[in-house]
Structure 1
Amino acid sequence: MAVRHRLIARPPAAVWDVLSDPVRYADWVVGTRESAPAEGEWPEVGAALAYTVRLAGKDLHGRTMVRRCEPPRALELEADSGPLGTARIALDIRPWGEETLVIMDEHPLRGLGGALHNAVLDALQQLRHRGMLNRLARLVEDAEPAAPQGARGGGDGG
């Protein structure tokens, strides 16, 4: 089981903005070339994304389904990589002062990934997770902060 964490210098709502955008999935998930909504309204429970991964010169297609969604605190996904099997990916999003602590926990559920699961694959997952959390942090921290509620002009006051 691969568990990794990262402190992101923005509040949980900013992290959630990136995680809840289905098109941005490929921007932070290492190995994913593109992603698009497949069914439902991402990230509601049961919604799914289709994604493409390039491996050994071939495009592989997979799906990721939302299994648990508690904005802006938790997102649990099941990634189905076809013959490679399925994996559970849990993102725990915790306020940490003015920042956010993101804890990523991934482990295989079914298929080849579960059958071949070992310490070497866990070490590789740790490297992948470090990259994913670094990408997520960069996307969140580089985004323009949303204006405070009272600072927006032209509203109707409610």
Structure 2
Amino acid sequence: MSVTVREMHCSPEAVFGVLADAWVFPTWVVGASRMRDVDGAWPEVGSKLHHSFGLWPLVIDDRTEMVEWDPPRRAVMQPAGWPLGEARVEIDVKPRGSGCVVRLVEFAVRGPGRLVPSPVADALLSVRNRETLTRLAHIAEGREENHEALVSDQEPDDVDEVQER
């Protein structure tokens, strides 16, 4: 079981905003290469996103199912990329000061991935998941920062003027 933790300079809601936006999944999940489809109910429990992983032309079609969705605290997903198998990914978010702490836990639940010795799997997943959380932080922090800048840059007169058009 690989456990990776990162402090982020954004709200837990900003993190969950990224998790809820399935179309940016390949942007923050290391190894995901493209989106193919997203269930309309995403991120509700039982809904799926359909993506691929690997580098073209060696890509494997994959799907990820939402197992638990409790924003802005917890999300649990189960990616399936056969022939490699299936994994469980748990993301827990806790507020800390003006930001939050994100804890990502990943482990194999089905298939050949379960045969990989834990120290080997954990070492590989740790490197991958550090980068995954770095990417997630960049998006969540950037969205929140840009949103706050856009909102604070608008003067009340500007809003009225735009509404009149």
What's the TM-score, normalizing by structure 2? 0.85
Amino acid at match of 2:147: P
Aligned to 2:124: 124
Aligned to 1:105: 105
Query: Contact 1:3–1:106 at 8 Å: present in 2 too?
Result: yes
Query: Contact 2:85–2:112 at 8 Å: present in 1 too?
Result: yes
Deviation at 1:57, TM superposition (A): 4.6
Which blocks of at least 5 consecutive residues in structure 2 are unaligned?
Answer: 161-165
Deviation at 1:115, TM superposition (A): 1.7
Query: Contact 2:30–2:132 at 8 Å: present in 1 too?
Result: yes
Q: Counterparts of 1:14 and 1:82 in 2: how far apart (Å)?
A: 32
Aligned to 1:95: 95
Q: Counterparts of 2:5 and 2:17 in 1: how far apart (Å)?
A: 18
Deviation at 1:145, TM superposition (A): 2.8
Q: How does 1:12-23 map to 2 (within 5 A)?
A: 12-23=12-23
Deviation at 1:31, TM superposition (A): 0.7
Per the alignment, do residues 124 and 36 of structure 1 end up closer, same or farther by CA in structure 2, a change over 3 Å counting? same
Amino acid at match of 1:5: V
Q: Counterparts of 1:57 and 1:124 in 2: how far apart (Å)?
A: 23
Deviation at 1:72, TM superposition (A): 1.2
Per the alignment, do residues 117 and 77 of structure 1 end up closer, same or farther by CA in structure 2, a change over 3 Å counting? farther
Deviation at 1:59, TM superposition (A): 1.1
Query: Contact 1:76–1:90 at 8 Å: present in 2 too?
Result: yes
Amino acid at match of 2:89: I
Query: Contact 1:23–1:36 at 8 Å: present in 2 too?
Result: no
From the CA coordinates, give the structure whose radius of gyration is larger.
2
Which structure carries more helix by proportion? Answer: 2
Amino acid at match of 1:113: G
Q: How does 1:3-42 map to 2 (within 5 A)?
A: 3-42=3-42
Deviation at 1:56, TM superposition (A): 8.3
Aligned to 2:163: none
Aligned to 2:58: 58
Query: Contact 1:9–1:100 at 8 Å: present in 2 too?
Result: yes
Which blocks of at least 5 consecutive residues in structure 1 are unaligned?
Answer: none
Deviation at 1:141, TM superposition (A): 1.5
Query: Contact 2:22–2:38 at 8 Å: present in 1 too?
Result: no
Q: Counterparts of 1:107 and 1:59 in 2: how far apart (Å)?
A: 22
1:74 aligns with 2:74: yes
Deviation at 1:117, TM superposition (A): 3.7
| Percent identical residues | 33
